Amino acid sequence: MKRKSRDLSVVGSPEPRKVTVAVKMMNTTGRQRLRGVYRYIAEGHDWDVHLIRTEEELDENAIRQAVREGTDGFLVLYHPATATLDALKDTGMPVATFSAPPRSSHMLCLPDEDNRRIGAIAAEHFLSLGRFRSFGFVPDENELFWSRQRLDGFRRRLGREARRLMVYSHRPAESTQTLDEWLLALPKPAAVMAAWDYRAAQVISACRHVGIAVPMQVTVCGMDNDEFICDSTSPRLTSILADRDGQGYAAVTALDAMIDGQRPRIDPTPFRTAQLVVRGSTAPLAPATSLVERALAFAEENALAGIDAADVASHLGVSRRLLDLRFKQLSIPSISSTLTDRRLAEVKRLLSTTSFPLDRIAALSGFRNPDSLRNLFRRRFGISMRAYRGKSC
């Protein structure tokens, strides 16, 4: 028998509606959607919620037990596995899930958020801050569909401005670079979007580890607006917030209608809406950036030719003192350090990919004295060049 949800102000209403709600409580998306569910209940809908807090808990036994206890329907606030969908289908109960094709007429698939739009929002924010020399994207480690879609939206928006995009890959078959090395290799100043806040926090941590200033050298944006993560990084993380509260509210409204035997009407707005929450990890490029940009571009192109800081200043038509001052104003390592970092990155690349003798690698990397390079390499990385090559092969 189908029962109406009751308003708590009505005397003699039916018993509370029993609903099983499954959510990944360790997941920011799930917690944000769950907030929308409880907002709906707080408005006067008398629901008795049985909360399942992990994906593993929602197995066939738990589903059967919920049916035996008289559940009126199931709300799954994530994309459930195939076996779970089959078990839900067999109940014949109203079911609402996210991002999963319905298996029967009593199952409703709610749309996922617009991940491509999320990627475009990050790109638009970066483009509004100034002219970065490069843009980067750090995907989810498992490269799930939402990560790929965010990358696609980010790439398309930057493509309209013909901007350079570099995508980090942790797959050994595609790249041997660590995240540290990838960030060092990005032409600065750079703007990096991470697929979600946890990865963005890793980017900021890696920047600190190798001495890259955030946001002056690399500006960083995440996704999820997980306040615990965003407020824990230094600087605090700029992030994108999807309307997941609205998504949860839309989901529970739809399920309530299904339990009443009605055809649900889904408001698409919360699934398309996202907003930027700006914090300290992104900032407009400073006026001094123009000179620094040109200095870094010249250094990037000519570091392996053995130039020094005086050569860079001479090329730009400024004094060495002014050049150093502009780098200091942007909290960027000196031009000498930049040249050294670029050369050492090339040394590591040649050690990993060629069998060239060490003296030749020194010359190809812009170091005039092979012995000085050997000492510098050991001081910087705590390992000899020969031992590094052995580990890389």
pLDDT in tens, 228-246: 999 999 999 999 999 999 9
Is a pLDDT exceeding 70 seen at residue 7?
no
Instruction: Give whichever of 101-105, 110-114, 369-373 has the largest mean pLDDT.
Output: 369-373
Span 240-267, average pLDDT: 92
Same domain, 104 and 149: no
- Domain containing 295: what range? 289-392
**Is 222 inside a domain boundary?**
yes
**Is 4 inside a domain boundary?**
no
Same domain, 255 and 321: no
Same domain, 77 and 130: no
Same domain, 102 and 139: no
Q: How far apart are CA 95 and CA 86, in angstroms?
A: 11
Same domain, 230 and 255: no
Q: How far apart are CA 98 and CA 22, in angstroms?
A: 11
Q: How far apart are CA 95 and CA 106, in angstroms?
A: 6
Among 62, 94, 55, residue whose Cα is nearest residue 252: 94
Same domain, 80 and 31: yes
**Is 1 inside a domain boundary?**
no
Task: List the CATH number of the domain containing 151.
Answer: 3.40.50.2300
**Is 376 inside a domain boundary?**
yes
**How would residue 9 be classed by pLDDT, with cut points 50, 70 and 90?**
very low
**Count of H-run helices and E-run strands, the chain:** 17, 11
- String of b and e for 143-170 (b: at least 16 CB within 10 Å)? eeebbebbbebbbebbeeeebebbebee
Span 341-364, average pLDDT: 94
**Is 102 inside a domain boundary?**
yes
Q: In what order do the strands lie in the sheet with 17-22?
A: 47-52, 17-22, 73-76, 95-98, 107-110
E strands, 3-56, in order: 17-22, 47-52
Span 274-280, average pLDDT: 95
Q: What does the pLDDT read at residue 126?
A: 95
Same domain, 131 and 149: yes
Same domain, 201 and 252: no
φ, ψ of residue 7 to 5 degrees: the values are: -80, 135
* C-alpha torsion angle, residues 189, 216, 228, 33 (rounded to 10): -40
Residue 369 identity (one-letter amino acid): N
Same domain, 233 and 321: no
**How would residue 122 be classed by pLDDT, with cut points 50, 70 and 90?**
very high
**Is 282 inside a domain boundary?**
no
Query: Cβ neighbours of residue 229 under 8 Å, at least 6 residues apart?
Result: 197, 198, 200, 201, 222, 237
**How would residue 100 be classed by pLDDT, with cut points 50, 70 and 90?**
low
Residue with tokens 């040109």: 294
Angle at CA of residue 218, ends 212 and 221, nearest 5°: 130
Share of the chain above pLDDT 70, in %: 92
**How would residue 287 be classed by pLDDT, with cut points 50, 70 and 90?**
low
Span 21-40, average pLDDT: 94
E strands, the chain, in order: 17-22, 47-52, 73-76, 95-98, 107-110, 134-138, 165-167, 190-194, 218-223, 238-242, 274-277
Beta-strand pair 274-277/238-242: antiparallel
Span 253-270, average pLDDT: 89
Mean pLDDT of the chain: 90
Same domain, 107 and 226: no
User: Which 8-state DSSP code applies to residue 49?
Assistant: E
Q: How many domains does the chain have?
A: 3
**How would residue 227 be classed by pLDDT, with cut points 50, 70 and 90?**
very high
**Is 10 inside a domain boundary?**
no
Q: What does the pLDDT read at residue 188?
A: 84
Q: What does the pLDDT read at residue 8?
A: 45
Same domain, 158 and 121: yes
Tell me which of 44-53, 65-74, 247-256, 332-341 is least confident. Answer: 332-341
The HSE-up count of residue 47 (CA atoms within 13 Å, CB side) is 25
**Is 133 inside a domain boundary?**
yes
Q: What does the pLDDT read at residue 327?
A: 82
Span 138-144, average pLDDT: 92
In this prediction the pTM is: 0.70
Going from the C-alpha of 304 to that of each of 12, 164, 189, 192, the distances in angstroms are 83, 22, 20, 26
Task: List the CATH number of the domain containing 311.
Answer: 1.10.10.60
Same domain, 152 and 225: yes
More confident residue, 191 or 268: 191
Residues 158-190 pLDDT 10s: 999 888 899 998 776 666 689 999 999 998 889
Q: How far apart are CA 245 and CA 251, in angstroms?
A: 10
User: Which 8-state DSSP code applies to residue 46?
Assistant: -
- String of b and e for 233-246 (b: at least 16 CB within 10 Å)? bebbbbbbbbbbbb
